[in-house]
Structure formats: C-alpha cells, structure tokens
A and B are shown apart, each in its own frame.
Chain A
Amino acid sequence: MAIKAYFSNQVGAPTLNGTVGSLIAVLDACLVNGYNQVNVSSITRSGSTVTVTCATAHGYENPLLNYWVQNGVGNVCTIAGATQTEYNGDWPVSYVSDTVFTFDIGTATPATPATGTITTKRAGGGWSKAFSDTNRGAYRSNDLSSRRHFWQVNDIADCPNGQGARFAGWRAYENMTGIDQGDGPFPTIVAAGTFGIYIAKSSALDSSSRHWSIYTDGKTVIMTFHTDQGGASLNASSYSYVAGFGDLLSPVPDPYATICGGLSSGASTYSGTNNCGFLVAAGGGDPNPNSSAGWNALARTYTGAKKPVWSTAHLGMGFFQSISMGYSGGLMFPDGMSNRFALAQIMVYETSSVGAIMRGQLPLYECGVGVAHSNREIINNVIGREGRVFQYIRAGSLNSSYVGGAYIDLTGNSQGKWS
C-alpha cells in the first residue's frame, strides 16, 4: 500500500465543474476505479526493479518537468492480468519515459518477462461505492483496519440557497443499508439540514473545469478544490478549500473519531474562502467550535454518546497562532540554524463541559513560516521527519483575506498509511 495522490491535470483525470454529478465522477474515478487504463507491452524484472513498458502513454508525470511529482511517491499504478500474479497489484511508480515506468517489487522474484494480457492504470484509492443513485454515492474504505464509516455525497443541485450545482453536499453515517438509509448521521439533519456539509465545486454554473487534488491512504481522504480556477496556475487561485472525510489518527482507541468536514455555508460565499473546515485554526479562526455554523462533524462525542458533534477546530500544535492554518509566519525560512524546515501536526479537538478533548490528528501539518511554497510543491528534508516526502496544499480559510495551506505526508509509514 502507499499514499495515493490524484490531480485534475493528470492524463485521464475526471473533470470537476459546476454541473451536477461531476464530483461523483471525480470520487468514483479516484477512490474506486482509478483511471487512464492502458495496455502493457512488456514487463521485465531485474532484481527487485520491475520495468513496465506501455503501448501508449501511461500518464505518470515526468518529475523533471513537473515540480509536483517525485518518483516513488504519490503516483501509484495497478497492474492486472499478469500470469505471474506477484506482478499484479498496486505499486508506487518511478517515471522513466512517457511509456515506461519502474516499480520496486520487494522480495518477490516472479519469472521475467511477465506473460499474459496485462494492463495498467492509475490505481483507485481503495474505497468502495457501497450505494449509489443518480449523481449520488455512498463511499466506504475497503481497509478493515479503518473505522469504515460511510460517506454520503449528493451532487444534485439541491443547495438550499439557490447556488445549485456550484455546491455539493455531504454527510457521513456510522452505518448504511441503502443510499437513503443510514444510522448515526454526522452531522445530523437537525444540525446541518438535509443538505449536510457544503463543499464548493465551482464559482460558475457551467462546465468549465476546476482544479482539484485528492489524497488518500485508503482510510482517510483529503481534498482540495480551487473553485475559481480552470487555467494553468494553481497558485493564482484565491478560492481554495481543504476538506474531506475519514479516520482521525487518535491518541487512544476511539471508535468514533471519524471526521466529515467541509464548509459551514454556501450562502453567497461560493467564491470566497470562508470556513474551510480542515484549516480553521483554533483561537485564530473560531475559539468556539461548538458554534452553530460548524465545519467538521465527528461521529460521536468523546464519551461515546450517540450525539454527533460539530467538533472541532484545529490547531497546529507548536507554532504561532494563525487565522488560518499556515497563514501567519514568524519562523525563519529556511531555518537559520539548520537551513531546513519544521512542521507541526494539525490536531483536532472537541470542546465539552470539562474543557477541550483531543480527538486525533489529521494527516496534515502546519508550518510556522507563512506561505513559503507553491501549491503542490514537494518538500523533503523536514526536521524530525527524515525520509518522508511532503506536499504543500494551498488553501484559504475563514476569510478571503487569509491564504494559508498545509503539508500532507506523501510517504506514510512502512505500510503506506498515515500514522
């Protein structure tokens, strides 16, 4: 397994726009099916290095020409159809040419060359679409070590304030038996209405494509949307959101630390950077995460009471307080002592009558230097996290004046999971 990264400008990537169902198409492709399947002409192995030659362009980016790509992380292929089944599976790839890539097969030693009718594609994220309906889907992790709650996404232009297909709505359930049948919704209908949590897709009700990035370890999904941008410059977007769904990394066993986050409102703010749930900083953003306009819901309270909570604000533990994550600077970049770079974990907490409760960690990190990187820039050599590769994802938060961002771990642990 590996952390998988999907980008709007990859070959074969689905299009997000201001029409119904486009978000479902993106999630189906990234989380479930993968994309850009091509035929494989040959597979050969030398030691643990497997060389795959494709009949047509495989679509993985050349890292020498695309600053957001690094060999061995993010781009993951699925190989299928090899008679020698050890070749089949998901592998992080290294670009060689537009039709050739390699991967590391580890200790397996299948016969070389491979035989069979072999195909490859960008791997799906390891999720299933458990239930579906027109322009709707309920997604669930395939990973049995996950909490495996359900994520219901509705992209049907039913945004209650007339914004139509600029927004989709989503919410999560502890369990589901059909696309409209579920237990333990979070947020509840009472808290968030039938629409659920807002997610902005596009500033316009048209088919102009918008940039996005999606990351998953098979248990948690982190997404960014650049709702005003159809062009080439991701850095020019003022309207970027970071949101998602899935397992928090909890400090103690916590079967209900699943987060479902997005925007608190779609009212006249579709083109602003309001209330970007995953990057609202504690104290700077909203010191009262129990306010009526929530951004993120957790499955249950810390006591396990079946009373879904608007959780949670976030804090980048250990760095300067910030209106939005990654907005405030203060630290020197790169650090004057080490010529390197430091990151702090973004934690999620729930407030309660006894004080805040630490519920877990997002697989996101905050820096203390302000906006120091370009969107999707790759960062190695992080102090204390040697050997891991991070990618900067830029976003606004809370108020359009504030641009921030976060760093996501592209490497994961030895199992290719966020931990």
Chain B
Amino acid sequence: MAIKVFHAGQDGAPSLQGQNGSLITVLDAILVDGYNTVSVSSITRSDSTATVTTAANHGFSTGDSATIMGAAQTDYNIDAVVSVVDATHFTYTVTNSPATPATGTITVKRSPAGFAKAFSGTNKAAYRSNDTSGSRPYLQVIDDGSTTGAAREAKTRGYLTMTDVDTGSEPFPTAVQYANGLLTYKSQTIDTTSRPWVLITDGKTFYFQAAMDTSPASLQASGGYLWWLGFGDIISTRPSDPYTAFMAACHAANMQVSGSAGACHNGMSVPAVRTANPTSGSCYIVRSYTQTVGAAVMNQMGHGWDQLAIGSLGIFSYPHFPDNGFMMTPLLCMQGGVMRGRMPGMFEPLHGRVLNQFDIIENVEGYPGRKFMALWCYALNSTATTGMFLFDITGDSNGKWS
C-alpha cells in the first residue's frame, strides 16, 4: 500500500463539472475503479524487477500506484508502486519469480484509492473504505442538484453504518445539525466545464480539493474558490476508539455565487483558536468524546497562533536560516477543549503559505525520508487569506498515515 495522489491533470482522470452526478463519476473513478486503463505490450522480469511496456502512454509518475491485470502468471497481477522509465515503460517489484515474459491479455490502470461503492442510486452513492483497520464509515453523496446551488454542489454526509443509499445510522452531521448534510462544491457554473481537483488518500481517509472557478487545469490559478471534502478516520488519542469517523466540507449551500463569500465555511481550514467552543461548523466527528450518540463539531489546531485559516500565519524564515529546514506541526482534532486526536497525514507549516499548490518538500525536521505535498486553503470568510496544509505522501512503512 502507499499514499496515493490523484488529480485532474493525470491521463484518463475523470472530469468534475457543474452537472448532476459529476461528483459521483469522479469519486467512482478515484475511490473504487481507478482509471486510464491501457494495454500492456509486454512484461519481462529480471530478479524481482518487472519491466512493463505499454501500448499507449501509461500516464504514471514514479511513486504512483498501478494495478496490473490479466497476466496468466498471477504473481504479476498486483497493485504496485511504479518507477517510471519513460512514457511507455515502467518497472515494479514482484515476488515468487513468475515466468518471464508474462503471457495473457494484460492491462494496467491507475490503482483506485481502495474504497467500495456500498450502495448506489440515481445520482446517489455511498462509499466505504475497504481497509478493515479503520472504522469504515460511509460517505453518502447525493448529487442531484436538489439544493439551492443546484448542480454546482452535492450533498454529502457521513454515517457510521448504512443499510441502503438513503438509510443509515449515526449521521455526521445529523439531520438536525444540517438538513442537507455538508455541501461539496463542484463548479461555479452549471455547465460541462471541467474543474481542477486533487485527492490524497491512504485508503482510510481522503482529502479532496476542487477549484470551482478555474478552467481547466490549474489549481494555483484559482481566485479563491478552493473547496475541500475531507472524510475518514482521525487518529484518536484513545486506544481502540470506535468513534473516529469525521467529515469536513461546507455547511452552507449556494456559496459560489457571490465573489469573496465563495470560500466560506470551509471545514478543513478553520483553526480551533477562532471558535473555542463551536456549536456549529463545517467539520463533524461521529460522536462526542463522551461517546453519547450524536455528531459533534470538530476544529483543527496546529501552532495555535491567532489566524484566519490553517497555515496562513507564519513567522519563521523560509527556509529556516540556520539549518535550511522546514518546520511544521501536526494538526490536532479539537472538540471544543478536548483533544480527540490528530488529523491523519495532515500538517500545518510554521512559515505561512510559502509553497505553491502541489509543491513537494523533503528535509522536514523529524520526518526523514518522507515527502510532503503542499495544498492551499482559504479562510472562514475571506478569499484574501490563504492558508496551506502539508500532506504526507509517503506514509509509514505500511503506506498509511499513522
């Protein structure tokens, strides 16, 4: 397993549009199916290294995960992290020394995140991680244009369990908290313009960003409409905590139409210091720390300085002069004054927003060998304040956030 990064600029990536069902199309491809299936001309093996030649461009970068299918020698048919040789060649590691060259009708695609589509309906879906080490909450997506922003946005809500696409228990947020759940934004316009997006996941938790004002490929060019959907399991401070499921998006509908208001209520980027004991918000955890039934508001706390968006305030030189380093802090999950845990794979810089979208840094103090990707976010009520997260794209020895 590995941390996986998906984005709209990859070959065969699905298109996010202001159309009903578009978010489901995108999430199906990323979470469940993978994409960009191409035919394999040959696989040869030398020791444990398999070299794949594809009939068309494979579209991978080194470090991406590929799913190889159809080889008669089934030891080739795995999900593997690839090393790219050129546009039509890559290598990966196999075990058990299968016969070389491989035979069969072989294809390869970008590996999916490792979720299942547990339930579905017309413009409806419920997704769930396949990783049994997590709490495996459900994400319900209703992408039918039934809110005031119509096809610009989709209704999204977490459930601890579900029995069909419309029915579940322990929703987060609850219907009382938000009748429409939290809104995940797709596009500023109701049309077929493709909007850029990126999704980072360890197979249990994912963070999804879309820039609904920009066309087509540049998240950096967004004028302040970077929206987030976060879903999965926090890393709890309590051992064997069954209530780790969280979801973050936007609690208000139709927020895309009025300029600077567009970045409001972004649940991923609200610092806890701004709202010490919130009663409403845009990030929810399935139960309170008391374990009584009912979702609770959660915010994030990193360095704790008073700022409008996570990662917007930085005081330290970059790179840090004495050691040419980069400093960051884990993001704590705060339910009011209670530390529920940490956000998996997610960090706040101490330097402010000093990197561009998609920039990758190494040489982070305390994290030897790990790579981190920078992504931006916006403040609660202002597009003028830009923050930044760092996401661990290496993971632990199991390719997970821990």
A357 cross-chain contacts in B, Cβ below 8 A: 316-317, 320-322
Contacts of A356 in B (CB 8 A): 315-317
With both chains docked as a complex, state the minimum distance between the C-beta of A325 and any C-beta of chain B, in angstroms. Answer: 12
Q: How far is the CB of A13 from chain B (nearest CB, A)?
A: 38
Smallest CB separation, B378 vs chain A (Å): 21
Query: Which residue on B lies nearest to A354, using beta carbons?
Result: B317
A335 near B323 with CB under 8 A, answer: no
Q: Give the residues in chain B near A6, CB-CB below 8 Å.
A: none
Cross-chain contact A251 with B365 (CB below 8 angstroms) = yes
Does A245 lie at the interface of the complex (its beta carbon under 8 Å from any beta carbon of B)? no
Q: Does A258 contact B (CB under 8 A)?
A: no
Question: Is A332 a contact partner of B321 (Cβ separation < 8 A)?
Answer: no
Q: Which of B273, B329, B351 contacts A320 (CB 8 A)?
A: B273
B 128-170 to A, binary, CB cutoff 8 A, 1 in contact else 0: 0000000000000000000000000000000000000000000
- Could you tell me if A302 and B303 are in contact, using CB atoms closer than 8 angstroms? no
Per-residue B-contact encoding for A324-337, CB less than 8 Å = 1, 0 else = 00000111110111
Say if the beta carbon of B289 comes within 8 Å of chain A: yes
Kindly list chain B residues whose C-beta atoms are within 8 Å of the C-beta of A358: 316, 320, 322, 327
* Contact across chains for A321 and B304 when beta carbons are under 8 A apart: yes
Residues of chain A contacted by B321 (CB below 8 angstroms)? 302-303, 352, 354, 357
- Whether B304 contacts A316 by the Cβ 8 Å rule is yes
Name the residue on B nearest A253 (C-beta). B322
Which of A303, A320, A337 is B236 in contact with, Cβ under 8 Å?
Answer: A337
Determine whether the beta carbon of A349 is less than 8 Å from that of B316.
Answer: yes
The answer to whether A302 and B236 have CB atoms under 8 Å apart is no
By beta carbon, the residue of chain B nearest A322 is: B304
Task: Give the CA-CA distance A315 to B316 in the complex, in Å.
Answer: 12
Q: Which B288-319 residues have a C-beta within 8 angstroms of A?
A: 289-290, 301-306, 314-318
Q: Is A317 an interface residue (CB 8 A)?
A: yes
A174 close to chain B: CB less than 8 A:
no
Interface residue? A338 (CB, 8 A)? yes
Quick one: closest A residue to B314, CB to CB?
A355
Q: Is B85 an interface residue (CB 8 A)?
A: no
Q: If the complex has contacts A354-B321, A358-B327, are A336 and B338 also in contact, measured as CB distance less than 8 A?
A: yes
| List of B residues within 8 angstroms of A295 by Cβ | none
**Which B residues are CB-close (under 8 A) to A349?**
315-316
Distance (whole angstroms) from the CB of B197 to the closest CB of chain A:
31
Tell yes or no: A254 within 8 A of B by CB: yes
Q: Is the interface of A mostly helix, strand, loop or mixed?
A: loop
Known: A355-B351, A357-B316. A337 touches B305 (CB 8 A): no
**Measured CA separation A53–B57 after assembly (Å):** 84
A144 at the interface (CB under 8 A from B): no
For the complex, what is the distance from the CA of A318 to the CA of B305, rounded to whole Å? 8
A342 to B238, CA, bound (A): 14
Using C-beta atoms within 8 Å of the partner chain, give the interface range for chain A. Answer: 35 or more
The minimal Cβ–Cβ distance linking B270 to chain A, given in whole angstroms, is: 15
Is A252 within 8 A of B322, CB to CB? yes
Cβ B304 vs Cβ A252 within 8 A: no
Contact A332 B322 (CB under 8 A): no
Contact B237 A329 (CB under 8 A): no
Contact with B along A341-383 (1 / 0, CB 8 A): 0100000010110111110000000001100000000000001
**A residues in contact with B323, CB < 8 Å:** 251-252
Q: Which of A252, A317, A342 contacts B339 (CB 8 A)?
A: A342
Q: Nearest chain B CB to A314's CB is how many angstroms away?
A: 12
B305–A321 contact, CB under 8 A? yes
Inter-chain contact A336/B303, CB cutoff 8 Å: no
**How far apart are the CA atoms of A319 and B306 in the complex, in Å?**
10
Q: Are B318 and A319 in contact (CB under 8 A)?
A: no
Are B303 and A318 in touch, CB under 8 angstroms?
yes
Say whether, besides A251-B323, A320-B273, A330-B276, A335 and B317 are in contact (CB < 8 Å). no
- B84-137 interface with A by 8 A CB criterion: none
> Given A302-B322, A337-B237, A321–B317 Cβ distance below 8 Å?
no
A280 interfacial contact with B, CB 8 Å: no
Across the interface, name the chain A residue whose C-beta is closest to B327.
Answer: A358
Question: Which residues of chain B from 231 to 263 have a CB within 8 Å of any chain A CB?
Answer: 236-238
**Partner-A contacts on B (CB < 8 A):** 236-238, 272-273, 276, 289-290, 301-306, 314-318, 320-323, 327, 329, 332, 335-341, 351, 365
27 cross-chain CB contacts under 8 A:
A282-B305, A315-B305, A317-B303, A317-B304, A318-B303, A318-B304, A318-B329, A319-B301, A320-B301, A321-B306, A330-B273, A331-B337, A332-B337, A335-B237, A336-B289, A336-B290, A337-B238, A337-B338, A337-B339, A337-B340, A337-B341, A338-B339, A352-B317, A355-B317, A357-B320, A357-B321, A368-B337
Closest 8 CB pairs of A and B: A355-B317, A332-B337, A336-B338, A354-B317, A356-B315, A336-B289, A331-B337, A252-B323
A336-B335, A357-B316 known, 10 other contacts, Cβ within 8 Å: A254-B322, A319-B301, A329-B337, A332-B337, A337-B338, A349-B315, A352-B317, A355-B351, A356-B317, A357-B322
* A residues whose Cβ falls under 8 Å from a Cβ of B: 251-252, 254, 282-283, 302-303, 315-321, 329-333, 335-338, 342, 349, 351-352, 354-358, 368-369, 383
